[in-house]
Amino acid sequence: MKETLIDLRAWRQFLAVAEELHFGRAAQRLHMTQPPVTQAIAQLEKTLGVLLFDRTRRRVALTPAAEALLPEVRELLARAQALPLRAQAAAAGEVGRVRLAFVSTIGFERLPTWVREFRQRCPEVALELVEATGDVQLDGFERGEIDAGLMLHSPGFGPAGLERLPVSHEPLVLALPARHPLARAERPSLADALVEPLVIFPRRIVPSLHDAIFALYHAAGRTPRVAQEAIQMQTIVNLVWGGLGLAWVPESVTQFRRAGVVYRTAAEFAPAARRRPPTLPGCETSLVWPSRLDNPALRRFVGFVADQAQAGMV
């Protein structure tokens, strides 16, 4: 079937005649003389192969075909008129899409707040959220499947090759079974904690933080006794509840309430002479994105998160 192309000017002329039901008044409305309008409508009817107006000397009336077209033409012209503003909004990042991956720890408090406030500011930017660990996020960047990520890492050890904006800093705390003897103290002994079986995430998930936790043990002259590895923080806490061991988790995880699990800050200790006191590691969450920031909506989201961080949401 041959494609029929009709320019917007012809549809504007059709709309004027359809609303005025008078060729002379339609021409005046269009700032034209009547003959060109009459000729344009005749050409439109020829192109469509249908009659649009019943014409007599006394009246002009819409045919059923014209009545069916009228709401569609109004919508078409309204959308065409909005296109320049739409393009400007897209260039300004007010319209578009951001595919955002995030680690579970940021999802307990900050992420829901950010999503709500960003949607209020930019209601026409779609935030597509996917929970993913750091290694999965890096693969997503490599395949072009995500635009930005919220990644957990040891302070200052963000992923190479990506732009980074730190958004939160927090200490690691102990997750303990409530029935464990160490849970009785508000600040259990770090020396005692380091001899307990450990539940931890695989190194590939957050290499820098995994290494920092192991360094804590080594600084105290201990070797971690890894009882079980698990990927998600909620799973790690559940395994702690099951009595497999204790775990070091970001402080934000304490918002995940699991009956039978308590969270404690360990009390540091002074080891034997000639050893430096072990330092409890902390962790950092950063917003990361590719160096080439060619997505205006992403650029606006990065600016929004930067404002939140500067406002004290760290």
Q: Taking the domains of the chain in order of start, what are their residue ranges?
A: 8-91, 95-168+285-310, 171-282
Question: In this predicted structure, what is the pLDDT of residue 80?
Answer: 81
Contacts of 71 by beta carbon, 8 Å cutoff, 6+ apart? none
Say yes or no to pLDDT of 3 above 70. Answer: no
- Within this chain, domains 8-91 and 95-168+285-310 share the same CATH topology: no
Question: Bigger pLDDT: 53 or 82?
Answer: 53
pLDDT in tens, 154-186: 998 888 889 999 999 999 999 999 999 999 999
pLDDT in tens, 195-218: 999 999 999 999 999 999 999 999
Its pTM surpasses 0.85: no
Say yes or no to pLDDT of 1 above 50. Answer: no
CATH class of the domain defined by 8-91: mainly alpha
Beta bridge partners of 267: 189
Pick the CATH number of 171-282 from 1.10.238.10, 3.30.110.30, 3.40.50.740, 3.40.190.10: 3.40.190.10
- Give the three-state DSSP class for 258: coil
Contacts of 198 by beta carbon, 8 Å cutoff, 6+ apart? 224, 225, 226, 227, 245, 246, 247, 248
User: How far apart are the C-alpha atoms of 232 and 148, rounded to whole Å?
Assistant: 20
User: Over pLDDT 90: what percentage of the chain?
Assistant: 60
Question: In this predicted structure, what is the pLDDT of residue 313?
Answer: 46
Other beta carbons within 10 Å of 187: 11
With vertex at residue 137, the alpha carbon angle to CA 134 and CA 139, rounded to the nearest 5 degrees, is 115
Q: How confident is the model at residue 96 (pLDDT cuts 50, 70, 90)?
A: confident
Q: What CATH fold (topology level) applies to the domain 95-168+285-310?
A: D-Maltodextrin-Binding Protein; domain 2 (3.40.190)
> What letters, b where the CB count within 10 A reaches 16 and e where it falls short, cover 156-166?
ebbbeebebbe
Say yes or no to pLDDT of 297 above 60. Answer: yes
Amino acid at 148: A
